[in-house]
Amino acid sequence: MTFKHTGSGTVYLVGAGGATQRMNLFRFTTSLTALLLVAGSALAQPLPERQQALRHLLLHDCGSCHGLSLRGGLGPPLRPEDLEGKSANFLAVVIYQGRPGTAMPPWHPFLSEAEARWLADLIKEGIR
Ligand code: HEC
């Protein structure tokens, strides 16, 4: 969806199907603000496509050490029941920085901090 501003106080919402909807600028601004607040409260989430890539990374790259279903291998198991008592923040730091002196590599060359945190939340919840 794209936004077109005509300069006259009217905003046209152009939907994926090409349908155009007229909106009062005031109402548009308020709903946009509400949207940003909702997004902000949930900690910056990776975009859906990036989420797919991160899931792939988790199962394939992380899975090469932690087991393809994260049940453990060279690295410890990462299922929700294995991570009880460890906060998502703590796990995000391990993912981002690695664990020096062990085989756990730092992932910051490939991930943002928010993405490391998203992965930590994902393993805390369980990938399926
Ligand atoms: C080369 C092997 C390897 C890869 C690849 C790897 N890990 Fe690890 N990981 C380890 C090892 C080994 C440990 C345990 C380190 C230790 O002895 O404390 C570990 C520890 C962890 C921990 C801490 C677990 C705990 O209970 O404290 C998390 C979380 C983790 N890895 C997540 C990931 C994620 C997410 C990825 C992919 C982005 C990943 N790992 C990729 C080997 C790996």
In this predicted structure, the answer to whether residue 99 has a pLDDT above a threshold of 90 is: yes
Which of 65, 93, 122 has most ligand 1 atoms within 8 Å of CB, for mutation?
65
Together in a domain, 67 and 116: yes
Task: Quote the ligand 1 centre to 95 CA distance (angstroms).
Answer: 7
Q: How far is CA 20 from the centre of its chain?
A: 31
Together in a domain, 7 and 63: no
Together in a domain, 66 and 109: yes
CB of 83 within 8 A of CB of 75?
A: no
Query: Residue 12 sits in which domain range?
Result: 2-41
CA 7/CA 102 separation, integer angstroms: 59
Average of per-residue pLDDT across 102-119: 97
Residue nearest to atom 26 of ligand 1 (CA): 83
In this predicted structure, the answer to whether residue 36 has a pLDDT above a threshold of 60 is: no
In this predicted structure, the answer to whether residue 108 has a pLDDT above a threshold of 80 is: yes
Together in a domain, 69 and 100: yes
- In terms of pLDDT, which residue wins out, 65 or 30? 65
